[in-house]
Structure 1
Amino acid sequence: MIKYQSDLASELTTTLSTLEAASERFAARHPGEPASRQPVHVVYGGAHLFSRNSAAKLGELALRSLDSYAPDPFTFARALGLPGSSELTSDEAAAKSLYITDPDALRRDDPNTWLAIAVYDRVRGKLETEPVEDFRLDFEDGYGNRPDDEEDATAVGAAQEVAAGMSAGTLPPFCGIRIKPLEGALLVRSLRTLDLFVSTVVRATGALPNNFVVTLPKISVPEQVTTLVRAFEVLERRHGLAPGSMKLELMIELAHGLYDERGQLLLPQLLTAAEGRCVAAHFGTYDFTASYGVTAAHQRMDHPACDFALDLMKAAFAETGVFLSDGATNVMPVPLHRGGDLTSEQTRDNRAAVHAAWHLCHRHIRRSLTRGYYQGWDLHPAQLPIRYAACYAFFLESFEPAAKRLRNFIDQAAKATLVGDVFDDAATGQGLLNYFLRALGCGAVSLEEIEVTGLTEAELQMRSFVQILAGRRVS
């Protein structure tokens, strides 16, 4: 064999140094998926309506809706259109009994029925223990434009309720506020609300809530993001908060805010302007479609205009560590007729209306999940059961084959392996791990169930496929 030695690289020293610097910048901007938990939703509610017990109250209302319109797993599954819901067993009592005594047998022999019961059981458990994962006190669309003294009072009052919730331990694991846009006549008002809210909370508790974030809407230029960052710096200095501790969330909701005047995509510029403080980017379905020229009758989550914007967001924020969120279904699952003395026809109408809204909501959420959007908005407590049901079904229905693939992959110590007709490579290993981390994070599965993959709790906490394999090689 002829050995060939090249000194080409030695003649490209300057070029290679430039390449190395560019690669380092790219790696710094694209650190990959964050290790922190991403909530599966954010509930938006007017700041004037928030109380320290809002999360618990929403959970109670969600359970009431579930009990009223789907008191059993089979009704629920059929209303949503869960996978296999048209093939459920007719012997519901026997299936429920088997789910309790031998769930593995039911899962093996009748996976559709098992899925319906498992989803319903886990949804109820979630609503009873942690009904809301993320809550945004809204000073924008959900609050409106009010006299300054009224918004001042709301900002202080809402902050006092948040502080009380911090002390009582009743806040959701994630929370924040949405301020008004930083533009025109609203600019000063928005900054004042931010100041009053943050100052009130910190003076009462000495800190902001865990995972606190400020949502910036209607962004049209990077300078709006820069302004919010500068405001954060002032508030941090004033109240002794750690530098960089205040985080922001971008709202992508203007068609004319996707590109700048030079035709360059604006989204990466917004991330740069955030100076490391951006933790999420949320899509505003209805403001965006309105700005896109879509008429009200056709403003919906699955409109092609939304797909265009969501794809741009995926590309712009890929591997940057920024969590992405889709929007909300705006058809509320509420009854048509009110009152306690309803006719049988009115009762049927109510049930049909709620089930239709549930089905639409489930379809929208599932579509978001398949597009890689693992978070969305919820606007009504009766949407909460659907949010969790969609997430749980999405992960549970493919749990067993994914677990088998991951276990085989790990056992082979990162060597490619073939399971059935699916070929895994190293990148897929991390993808499979991310699947289980998201399934665990949203409550679809438990640590005990994930043991089937061969992973330990300590390994899961690493959140890195490469680190898991390195640890196993050492041991």
Structure 2
Amino acid sequence: MGDGNATGVRRTALTSADLAAVEARLAATDELLARAYPGDDGSRQPLHTVYVPADRYAPELPAVWGRAALAAADSVGGLEALAEAVGLDAEIAASVVPRVREKLEREPIEDLRIDFEDGYGGRGDDVEDADAVLTAKRVAAAVGAGLAPPFIGIRFKSFEASTRARGIRTLELFIAELMEHGLPDGLTLTLPKVSTIAQVEAMADVAAALERAHGLPDGRLRFEVQVETPQLILDAQGRSPVARLPHAAPGRITGLHFGTYDYSASLQIAARYQSMAHPAADLAKGVMQLAVAGTGIRLSDGSTNILPVGDRGVEAWRLHARLVRRSLERGFHQGWDLHAHQLPTRFLATYAFYREGYPEASARLRSYLDRTAGSVLDEPATARALAGFVLRGVRCGAIAPGEVAADARLDESALVSLAHPRAVVA
């Protein structure tokens, strides 16, 4: 009596004014979450970025690297023997090796960065001007001939005082020449050695100015930020500038890439112990993960300079495979490769990671979608993670779309919708 209405629904005590006050209080929060934390857009992220000095780039380079990678594996008995040498389970190796061979023949490089920074050095303005224009011509030729990787671009010199003008000039010449042929869809630009938010803001200003100069739509020129200095992790006031980057240049930053050796050297870590697996590196990368969570900005781990060449090749392959796997387990789905011989272990380790996890992930997805009781009770957030895992495996070639259709009754667009609910599915 008195605690309900004619329909039997219990009356609530809060008035419309109370509810309006809540809405008013949280309006700014709603706007912040929608603007600054849109989530991943569901597009493809490459497994790796290959760095080559600008003067060594040619349109045929990916195919050359793919052949060199297979030849290197053949030198130790083939991909099968290499898979065994780096510790892959025999059953997983049998599934992975044919896929890796096909990958190295079809798409050995997913993302190529033509380097005008550390890998290129200082060669004088006339030489670098000519190389910037020539590189753009070669990129355009590669795209036109179907030889370019899905993602390609340049790393220009940093915005530190000594190299700023040179870096901007190289970028401007490269973009201007590319505009003569059309910008590639997968164009990627990299800003190295960032120490302050102001450098990123300046890069955003440069990108906007280039867009205006060439009649490009606002936001067309986006860029990666390389995290290579401790000042970007912790500044003089004890704050974390890297956490403020997404909000300082909204919509401009595509990724944060960890620079293993510059960062380690800045902390006075002896060269012998500089590594992607050093605790100091893990601390920085943990901060990076927190900084970009929910922003849609992707992460990339760094590289190992221990190359699989010479008498210690197998040892270096084991190290590389272990580091690739370690990064994947820690949520870094991309890394750097510096040599063609690193490609076999990049793909062996990555494909094994996805093949090993796929049976459980697909079964849990099926149970979640069918709302049936499995061995694990997954929440929506975990279902998104499961779908994201499978989606990455499909896009890199480790998992066939037909497998997912049969096992989980999902095609790629459905995986994107489940993994990234706020993404627009083409």
Normalised-by-shorter TM-score class: over 0.9
Q: Which amino acid aligns with 1:119?
A: V
* Partner residue, 2:355: 396
* Partner residue, 1:50: 57
Q: Does structure 2 conserve the Cα–Cα contact (< 8 Å) formed by 1:437 and 1:463?
A: no
Q: Does structure 1 conserve the Cα–Cα contact (< 8 Å) formed by 2:196 and 2:231?
A: no
Q: Which amino acid aligns with 1:424?
A: D
For structure 1, the 5+ residue unaligned runs are 85-112, 336-349, 469-475
* Partner residue, 1:77: 83
| CA 1:459–1:173: 2 relative to 1, 3 Å | closer
- Aligned-partner Cα distance in 1 for 2:111–2:189: 12
Q: Does structure 1 conserve the Cα–Cα contact (< 8 Å) formed by 2:386 and 2:419?
A: no
Residue 76 of structure 1, CA deviation: 1.6
- Aligned-partner Cα distance in 2 for 1:281–1:306: 14
Residue 370 in structure 1 maps to residue 370 in structure 2? no
Residue 23 in structure 1 maps to residue 30 in structure 2? yes
- Aligned-partner Cα distance in 2 for 1:233–1:467: 30
Task: Using structure 2 for the length normalisation, give the TM-score.
Answer: 0.93
Deviation track 1:113-144 (CA, whole Å, cap 9, x = no partner) reads: 33112211111100000010000011111111
* Partner residue, 1:423: 377
| CA 1:159–1:467: 2 relative to 1, 3 Å | closer
Map residues 201-350 of structure 1 onto 2, 5 A cutoff.
201-203=178-180, 205=181, 207-335=182-310, 350=311
Once structures 1 and 2 are overlaid, which stretch shifts more, 138-147 or 445-454? 445-454
SS in 1 for 2:309: coil
Map residues 193-204 of structure 1 onto 2, 5 A cutoff.
193-203=170-180
- Aligned-partner Cα distance in 1 for 2:86–2:196: 40
| CA 1:241–1:66: 2 relative to 1, 3 Å | same
* Partner residue, 1:151: 128
Q: Which amino acid aligns with 1:53?
A: E
Residue 35 in structure 1 maps to residue 35 in structure 2? no
SS in 1 for 2:112: strand
- Aligned-partner Cα distance in 1 for 2:231–2:420: 41
Q: Does structure 1 conserve the Cα–Cα contact (< 8 Å) formed by 2:41 and 2:420?
A: no
Residue 20 of structure 1, CA deviation: 2.5
- Aligned-partner Cα distance in 1 for 2:101–2:403: 19
Deviation track 1:349-377 (CA, whole Å, cap 9, x = no partner) reads: x3xx1110000000101000000111000
Q: Does structure 2 conserve the Cα–Cα contact (< 8 Å) formed by 1:76 and 1:120?
A: no
Once structures 1 and 2 are overlaid, which stretch shifts more, 386-395 or 258-267? 258-267
- Aligned-partner Cα distance in 1 for 2:244–2:386: 31
* Partner residue, 1:473: none
Q: Which amino acid aligns with 1:116?
A: A
Give percent identity, aligned residues only. 41
Residue 15 of structure 1, CA deviation: 5.5
- Aligned-partner Cα distance in 1 for 2:259–2:420: 36
Q: Which amino acid aligns with 2:159?
A: L
The structure 1 segments of at least 4 consecutive aligned residues displaced by more than 4 Å after TM superposition are 1-4, 11-15, 465-468
Q: Does structure 2 conserve the Cα–Cα contact (< 8 Å) formed by 1:226 and 1:274?
A: yes
Q: Which amino acid aligns with 2:109?
A: V
Residue 318 of structure 1, CA deviation: 0.6
- Aligned-partner Cα distance in 1 for 2:420–2:391: 15
* Partner residue, 1:131: 108
Residue 398 of structure 1, CA deviation: 2.1
Indicate the RMSD between aligned Cα atoms, in angstroms: 1.9
Q: Which amino acid aligns with 1:139?
A: F
Deviation track 1:138-165 (CA, whole Å, cap 9, x = no partner) reads: 1111111221111111111111111111
SS in 1 for 2:75: helix
Q: Does structure 2 conserve the Cα–Cα contact (< 8 Å) formed by 1:151 and 1:193?
A: yes
* Partner residue, 1:174: 151
| CA 1:43–1:72: 2 relative to 1, 3 Å | closer
| CA 1:45–1:260: 2 relative to 1, 3 Å | same
Residue 438 in structure 1 maps to residue 388 in structure 2? no
Q: Does structure 1 conserve the Cα–Cα contact (< 8 Å) formed by 2:327 and 2:333?
A: yes
Q: Number of residues paired by the alignment?
A: 415
| CA 1:118–1:59: 2 relative to 1, 3 Å | same
| CA 1:43–1:77: 2 relative to 1, 3 Å | same
- Aligned-partner Cα distance in 1 for 2:174–2:419: 41
Deviation track 1:234-258 (CA, whole Å, cap 9, x = no partner) reads: 2222222222111100111111221
Q: Which amino acid aligns with 1:453?
A: D
Q: Does structure 2 conserve the Cα–Cα contact (< 8 Å) formed by 1:51 and 1:161?
A: yes
| CA 1:315–1:72: 2 relative to 1, 3 Å | closer
Aligned with residue 406 of structure 1, among 362, 365, 387: 365
SS in 1 for 2:52: strand
